[in-house]
Amino acid sequence: MPPDVGWHDGGMRSRPADPHLPANPHLKEFTRVLLELRWGDLDAYGHVNNVTQLRLLEEARVRALGSPTHTSDADAATGRFGIAETVSGIQIPPIFARASATTEMLVTAHSIEYRAPIRYRPGPIAVDLVISEVRPASVTIGYVIAEPDGSLAYTVAETVIAFIDRAASRPRRLSLEETRAMESIIQPAVPLRGRRR
């Protein structure tokens, strides 16, 4: 992998969209995060629990958008036993990690539709993300949990993240730079069946 591809300051370094990224049955362009399932993620019915799926969305969001705790996170191991690159596709600007010094990014809403059960497997599951809406003080993130080869979509979801000024304890507007950066990668919203918009 080229040396300019990877994590830096809580966000991804510059990377072009991956033309070899497998298709997603619901999204044209997206950011893909590959996550390993754990056997303990299963419920009594033998599939990934609904609450665990929200945790998968959270982990994918943090890996794609940057960790809000990146200044205190442990360094990634390098070399043979280091981390593998798990994020590909559209590069999401690292505004979340950069803003985290003065801003809390709080989840204000989740919408989630379970379309098929996810069973345990030894390989990764794909969580494909899009930024679908940028508002003055919030961003909407859409997700599709799918097979890495794009053959099946398991879950479709959205999360609204509000930007909260830590000192004032109230919503803050995105800066013009943040808004432009996020608007530059906006994609169509995920196809939630229960969408009321």
Q: What range does the domain containing 114 cover?
A: 7-71+82-183
In a 3-state reduction of DSSP, which class is residue 40?
A: helix
Q: How many domains does the chain have?
A: 1
Residue 44 placed within a domain = yes
Structural domain contains residue 55: yes
Identify the CATH number of the domain in which residue 15 sits: 3.10.129.10
User: Does any domain span residue 156?
Assistant: yes
Tell me the C-alpha distance between 67 and 130, whole Å.
Answer: 17
Has residue 141 been placed in a domain?
yes
pLDDT at 25: 77
Written as tens digits, the pLDDT of the chain (197 aa) is 333 333 223 333 333 445 556 778 788 889 999 999 888 888 888 889 889 999 999 999 988 887 777 666 677 666 655 555 678 888 888 888 888 888 999 999 999 999 999 998 888 999 999 999 999 999 999 999 999 988 999 999 999 999 999 999 999 999 999 999 999 999 999 999 877 55
pLDDT in the model for residue 16: 41
> In Å, what is the CA distance from 135 to each residue of 2, 7, 40, 85, 183?
35, 27, 37, 31, 10
Task: Please tell me the distance from the alpha carbon of residue 137 to that of residue 155, in angstroms, as a whole number.
Answer: 27
pLDDT value at residue 176: 95
- What pTM did the predictor assign? 0.82
pLDDT of residue 173: 96
Confirm whether 133 is domain-assigned.
yes
